[in-house]
Amino acid sequence: MSSETARVEAFSDGVFAIAITLLILNVQVPPPSAGHLLAALARHWPTYVAFLLIFAFIGIMWVNHNRLFNHIRRCDNMLMFLNLLLLLGITVVPFPTALLAAHYSTPGRTVAAAVFNGTYVFLAISFNVLWFHVVKRGLLGPETQESANSISRRYAVGPFSYLVCFALSWINVPLSLALNIGLAIFYALPPRTIPKGRTMRSATK
């Protein structure tokens, strides 16, 4: 952790931790009046699935945030504000999650899915804007440039892909969520880098 970015990273970790903890508040205990307990628990399956998925999603975003700051060596005012913009999206995540879980089995699930996927469009744009600023302003360490190029390529597909998820919300909600999960798995994987020796050999062919 760079001394220049230490406070930004520590504050960000706190926000991620609070956001991921708040998710459990959406999981409610069925009251005695709900009837047979097993049946009451089964009726709330969307809430349980949403909790597990979004716990994983926020965890993956935290991993990616950590990967970014492993490359960042210097901090400026704009970086701090752009990081706050990204954290705004993180803190919002529990709301669309609860909305989708509550309305998944109702006619309102299309709108709920659109709000859910729209949140991830915002997050994808925020990640890209933050990273673009870091690269443009030269806030990276010189030893991390090759990995930085790989990250830039991976993040570039994010906004468009999540826009596709958003559009699918109005056509096929399960498909939009499946694509969202696929993107989460994609971003959970570590970025690949090409060793310099291999790059040089390819260039000479």
Under a CB-based contact definition with an 8 Å cutoff, are residues 67 and 150 in contact? no
Total number of domains in the chain: 1
Q: Is residue 53 one of the residues assigned to a domain?
A: yes
Q: Which amino acid is at 94?
A: P
Q: Is residue 39 one of the residues assigned to a domain?
A: no
Q: Is residue 35 one of the residues assigned to a domain?
A: no
Q: Which pairs from 156-160 meet CB under 8 Å and 24+ separation?
A: 156/128, 158/124, 158/125, 158/127, 158/128, 158/183, 158/187, 159/121, 159/124, 159/125, 159/128
Q: Is residue 133 one of the residues assigned to a domain?
A: yes
Q: Is residue 203 one of the residues assigned to a domain?
A: no
pLDDT for the residue numbered 162: 95
The DSSP 8-state label assigned to residue 73 in this structure reads -
pLDDT for the residue numbered 204: 38
- Per-residue pLDDT tens, the chain, 205 aa: give them: 556 788 999 999 999 999 888 888 777 777 777 777 888 788 777 778 888 888 999 999 999 999 888 888 888 999 999 999 999 999 998 888 888 888 888 899 999 999 999 999 999 999 999 999 998 888 887 766 667 777 888 888 999 999 999 999 999 999 999 999 999 999 998 876 434 444 334 333 3
- What is the rounded distance in angstroms from the CA atom of residue 63 to the CA atom of residue 130? 15
> What is the residue whose two structure tokens read 């409610």?
28
Q: Is residue 34 one of the residues assigned to a domain?
A: no
Q: Is residue 117 one of the residues assigned to a domain?
A: yes
Q: Is residue 205 one of the residues assigned to a domain?
A: no
- What is the rounded distance in angstroms from the CA atom of residue 67 to the CA atom of residue 94? 23
Domain residue limits at 86: 6-29+46-197
